[in-house]
Chains A and B, each alone.
Chain A
Amino acid sequence: MMALDETTAREFKVVGTRPVRPDGVDKVTGRARFGADAYAPGMLHGAVLRSPHAHARIVRIDASAAEAMPEVKAIVTQADFAEGLSGENRNVLENIMAGERALYDGHAVAAVAATTAFAARDALKRIEVEYEVLPHVTDVDEAMKEDAPVVRDGAADASVPDGMHPNVVRYHENGHGDVEAGFATADLVIEERFRTEAAHQGYIEPHACLAQLGPDGKGELWCCTQGHFVAGKICASLLGIDASQLRVTASEIGGGFGGKTTVFIEPVALALSRKANRPVKIVMSRAEVFRATGPTSSASMDVRIGMKKDGTITAGEGVFRLQGGAFPGAPMEFSAMCAFAPYDLENVRCIGWDVICNRPKQAAYRAPGSPMGAFAVESVIDELCNRLGLDPIEVRLKNAAREGTRAAFGPRYPRIGLVETLEAARAHAHYSAPLEPGQGRGVSCGFWFNHAGETAVSLALAEDGTVSLSVGTPDIGGSRASMCQMAAEALGISYDKIRTTVADTATLGYNDVSHGSRVTYASGLATIKAAEDTVDKLCARAAAEWGIDRDAVVWEDGHARPAGPNAGEFEPVSLARIASRMGRTGGPIVGHFEATPEGAGVSFATHLVDAEVDPETGATKVVRYTVVQDAGKAIHPSYVEGQFQGGAAQGIGWALNEEYIYGEDGRLQNPGFLDYRIPVASDLPMIDTVIVEVPNPGHPYGVRGVGETSICPPLAAIANAVSNAAGVRLCELPMSPPRILKALDAEADG
């Protein structure tokens, strides 16, 4: 690890160590309670009826036969939700329960609650839905064509230029300079078309919730979510109840990766519960997860880059067409903004098109939009390096964005760590290791913004000198450990004296979702600030006891001390000692922080991959993988490494195996882990990691987010490795054996 400026030159006692996570024992003994692990007295089981058609008008729903079953206690359709919703709430409702039309295979059309799960499923079979099947489209390029079926009319916003198909719903453009002038000065210009298929977040825990909503409008919701405050807010809107009357508790969450930042079954369970006036539990099947929750977008992209013989990039241009299912929101603007973000370019222009199709509404997936854009741009850079005989890391270093560089998305960068990741990759033994015959090496950079968002934290002292820290951001990957570490550091006490709890919506101020790699940054910053607020109160108590000014007291190593000889001679007093007397010195001591911090630091990564291709079968094996990423400051290095490795592994799946396959009938052909194949243990090598630390000045300890950037480089890094191994440029993901054989055949045919 490298300490690169004075912020990390600071000596930490707890930050940077690797303690056992506070929820660890619960998670290795089976005690941890996830979404489906909750039960309630009198609980009913909910089940959702889904459209078998990609696009159909719902002519009639006859639920009388299901209603006649004695086990059935409630049936709901869209009519059982709030009326008159607008904007994104309207889209969310339409997505979780169809109105006039089913817009994709798997679109919910009705739901039942019954006394057993078997009865609920039987009841679904007795609901008759009359459909008028309509023409459908599931491919992004097809959906933009003039004669394409219209998925939803009037879905486009004002950004879309006149004359586009109604399926084109948003348009974005960014960049600067004059790209044509830039291309004119290049020695070599390469333009290529790329395609990526939709990949699912693939969390192992299906969506699950337990809901209770009474006729008085008061409710309780337990669910696996990345953001229970946001889930509660959306549910309240969809049900037409007051947000504060719905208390939402986040269960332990079995993976999210962006896919659990919105709601699917939660409002349905609440609506069923309100109708039956009993608790209702819904657990999605894996097929439902694939068919009806958010995969990421699929993309079709054109990228053109000009380079001089010395490796200088003279211009870059990209067009990114993303489909995001039947609703606006495909993150094409982030493809356009991130694709060239690692480079200092005089001339750059990026265009994004958001296109709707008869597919499930895309949900955020780890750095939404960035990985696809990086795949296209970094592939073209690799091809330019190959044809000009240049080293891919040297070329990237030559063009690398640094502090003061104008980013392709507009602003000038503050202190960033891209160059440091490239230098560390170049120095890594992996980069100079010899390759075996049939192997190729790939390099790619990647970029993500990182996010902050609304954050509230409360830190309460107990009389025995221990600390209860309440945060509002669900812990997806060990964040309670890093919160305890930051609180321990700021208070000057030991890690195990602190317990961090993810508080429910009734006990803490509003918190944005655990997304955008924001948790260690924003909840961490809030934790440190709440600890400092607590320290201030502790010092005031000591000052009052000693009869001196608050300013004459300092906090060191968990003790209040007189600031200097002039303050008087008093024995330092510990946090535990002050806490033990707090009832008689002014009452409970609680530190707070509530704000929207604005100092998230962008981050960059460089990945190295060696891949082996079997030209007979088209099968690919990743034989070596190294992740180098700027973490700002790694609070708990093991979990930072884990984020790096997890992002790389998901990228390997997306690059090589994973794809949504739709049939001619518009139905998803592979809604299960057997046919939608995520990487298994025997597919992968060890994944080496290098944590670079270029501190983020916007965080007291220098933290940048780490969760998302790790999935930005892999698609391109692997495609570059596979292309170099196969001797032919692969422009379409996933690089499954049939696609590789096709590319090899096409190359052989010349």
Chain B
Amino acid sequence: MNMMHVRATVNGDAVEFVCDPRETMLDVLRDRLALTGAKEGCGTGDCGACSITVDGAVVCGCLMLAAEAEGAEIGTVEGISEGGELHALQENFLKHAALQCGICTPGILVAAKALLEENPDPTDTEIRYWLAGNLCRCTGYDKIVRAVSDAAAEMRENG
């Protein structure tokens, strides 16, 4: 199959890659760009472990063909912290023990960050519905909801 040449931005860095037209964005991030933070839990858009942002919108990386990324701005978990500082969400996930195995964490952080950009003061119910596409089998979500809520409060305080 003819390979395709794609130019995009990932976490602010310009990238260029060639890919099989059947390859997903998730495949390319992991196998060609060495960004293995996004995980494949199902490959069918049901679990959200591969959540990334494409031009600001949360997308399942497994449902997007890499060839569609031409000119797009992609964001992954690797781009959440800036410089040496962890993001408030990351800090609060650690503080609240909001992860056990950690496989869903990258996708949940990407989705939660997008939530707080759109709604800086979500209710617990809004957090639960926003994250309903991100499966976690370990925690029962309790500590995740608390971590997102506290991160939001901290971010509002720090402006």
Docked CA distance A247–B124 (Å): 46
- Chain A residues contacting B22 (CB-CB under 8 Å) are 118
Residue interface bits B119-159, CB-to-A below 8 A is 1, else 0: 00000110111011111111111111100000000000000
CB of A283 closer than 8 Å to a CB of B: yes
Residue contact A254 to B102, C-beta cutoff 8 Å: yes
Query: A642 and B100 in contact (CB under 8 A), knowing A28-B90, A30-B35, A30-B106?
Result: yes
For residue B151, give the distance in angstroms from its CB to the closest CB of chain A. Answer: 11
**From A32, which residue of chain B is reached at the shortest CB distance?**
B102
Interface residues in A6-57 (C-beta closer than 8 Å to B): 18, 20-21, 23-25, 27-34, 36-37, 39
Query: A204 and B97 in contact (CB under 8 A), knowing A29-B77, A34-B39?
Result: no
- Chain A residues contacting B14 (CB-CB under 8 Å) are none
**Interface size bracket, A side:** 35 or more
Residue contact A204 to B36, C-beta cutoff 8 Å: no
CB of A203 closer than 8 Å to a CB of B: yes
Best-buried of B89, B94, B131 by chain A (most CB within 10 Å): B94
For residue A30, give the distance in angstroms from its CB to the closest CB of chain B. Answer: 2
Residue contact B36 to A283, C-beta cutoff 8 Å: no
Query: Which label, helix, strand, loop or mixed, suits the secondary structure of the B interface?
Result: loop
Which of A254, A285, A636, A684 contacts B141 (CB under 8 A)?
A684
For residue B1, give the distance in angstroms from its CB to the closest CB of chain A. Answer: 8
- Chain B residues contacting A159 (CB-CB under 8 Å) are none
Query: Which label, helix, strand, loop or mixed, suits the secondary structure of the A interface?
Result: loop
- Chain B residues contacting A18 (CB-CB under 8 Å) are 97
- Chain A residues contacting B53 (CB-CB under 8 Å) are none
Residue contact B44 to A674, C-beta cutoff 8 Å: yes
Docked CA distance A256–B137 (Å): 10
- Chain A residues contacting B128 (CB-CB under 8 Å) are 681-682, 684
CB of B80 closer than 8 Å to a CB of A: yes
Query: A476 and B78 in contact (CB under 8 A), knowing A286-B42, A681-B131?
Result: no
Docked CA distance A738–B158 (Å): 50
Best-buried of A21, A30, A32, A680 by chain B (most CB within 10 Å): A30
For residue B102, give the distance in angstroms from its CB to the closest CB of chain A. Answer: 4
CB of A257 closer than 8 Å to a CB of B: yes
Which of B31, B90, B131 contacts A29 (CB under 8 A)?
B90
Known contacts A20-B95, A28-B90, A37-B30; 18 additional CB pairs below 8 A are A21-B97, A28-B77, A28-B102, A28-B109, A29-B77, A30-B35, A118-B22, A204-B101, A252-B101, A255-B137, A645-B143, A646-B140, A650-B137, A678-B137, A681-B145, A682-B129, A682-B131, A684-B141
Q: Which 7 A-B pairs have the closest CB atoms?
A: A30-B37, A254-B103, A649-B140, A27-B102, A638-B97, A645-B140, A673-B46
Residues of A within 8 A of B (CB): 18, 20-21, 23-25, 27-34, 36-37, 39, 116, 118, 201-206, 252-257, 283, 285-286, 476-478, 636, 638-639, 641-643, 645-646, 648-650, 672-674, 678-684, 686-687
